[in-house]
Amino acid sequence: MADVFQFLSSASLEKLTGRKAENLDGLLDLIKTCPDTSIFYHTFSAYMKMREIRLPYNNDFTYWISSSLNEKALAEKIMAIDLSEYNTLTSLRMRLIEIIEEYRRRESRTFRKRADDPFYLYDIIRVVYLTDKFAYDLQSFREVLATISIYSIYLHFIECRLEKDLHIDDFSTWIEHSLHLPDLARKIKKIDLTAYTMEGLRTRIIQLIDEHARQR
């Protein structure tokens, strides 16, 4: 019998820090000195915000660099960071610093350019909590997935990569190790996060489950 999967969820409260950046130098300073939770907020948390609708940006830094500084190339380089490869905030912070400093070596003039609008640094308080939703098998998993809030999907599919220092998500882990369905787990694991809204992600996972069921 499979282990029970209890759905968790998370919510966050945004804190204003009073710190802001007016140019790329200022942004670099914020990234170097802000708490881990600010990096988390502007990357992982922002990931969900940017996926309400189909936006090309996947975090707050890229949105600001693109829209307020018009440095599209730098925005693209940061956008291309695969969050699943930088699964600690320290490594993600270092990667951000590395990309921006490399850009400074090549495009130093851009660091003096003043942004149209400041970048405001936030911090957050995260609350992770249990829901009363459980899955016992693939069918019950599909049923819950269809109605659970997107915050729960976000926690199990994106945020957990950070929490558990794994390159994989909770859903595919459970499907592989508890339901012993490695093929389906592999397909879920391979979903390109950048291609979907959060609702789109829900639909895609359900689609893969349905395809799997049809093939059996």
Partner 1 sequence: MKEPTLFDYRDVVGPGIIEELTILASYLAGRSIKMVSSTKVGGGVAEILHRIVPLLNELGIETTWDVIKRDEAFFTITKRFHNALQGYKDHFNKALLDAYMAYNEKNNAELDFDEDLIVIHDPQPLALINWHQKRNNKWVWRCHIDLSHPHSHLWRFLKPFVEKYDAAIFSSPLFSPELTIPQYRFHPTIDPLADKNKELDAAYIDSVLMHYGIPRDKPIVTQISRYDPWKDPVGVIQAFKMARKYVDCRLLLVGDKATDDPETESMLKLVRAEARDDPDIHILLFNPSKATEINAFQRASNIVMQKSLREGFALTVSEALWKRRPMIGSAAGGIPAQIIDGYTGLLVHSTEGAGLGIRWLINQPDFAQQLGENGHQRVKANFLITKHLKRYLLLLLSLDNQRKHTIFLS
45 near partner 1 (CB under 8 A): no
131 near partner 1 (CB under 8 A): yes
Q: Report in angstroms the alpha-carbon separations of 140 from 136, 144, 187, 206.
A: 6, 6, 19, 12
203 near partner 1 (CB under 8 A): no
We find the least distance from the C-beta atom of residue 202 to partner 1, in angstroms, to be 10
Residue 51: how many other CB atoms lie within 10 Å: 23
* Residues between 152 and 181 with contacts to partner 1, criterion CB under 8 A: 152
Residues ≥6 apart with Cβ < 8 Å to 204: 191, 196
Among 106, 109, 112, 132, binds partner 1 (CB under 8 A): 132
80 near partner 1 (CB under 8 A): no
Per rule CB under 8 A, count of chain residues that contact partner 1: 38
Pick between residue 43 and residue 185 the one whose CB is nearest to partner 1.
43
- Compute CA 191 distance to the chain's CA centroid, rounded to the nearest angstrom: 13
Residues that bind partner 1 (CB under 8 A): 9, 11-16, 18, 20, 35-37, 49, 52-55, 67, 117, 120, 122-132, 147-152, 197
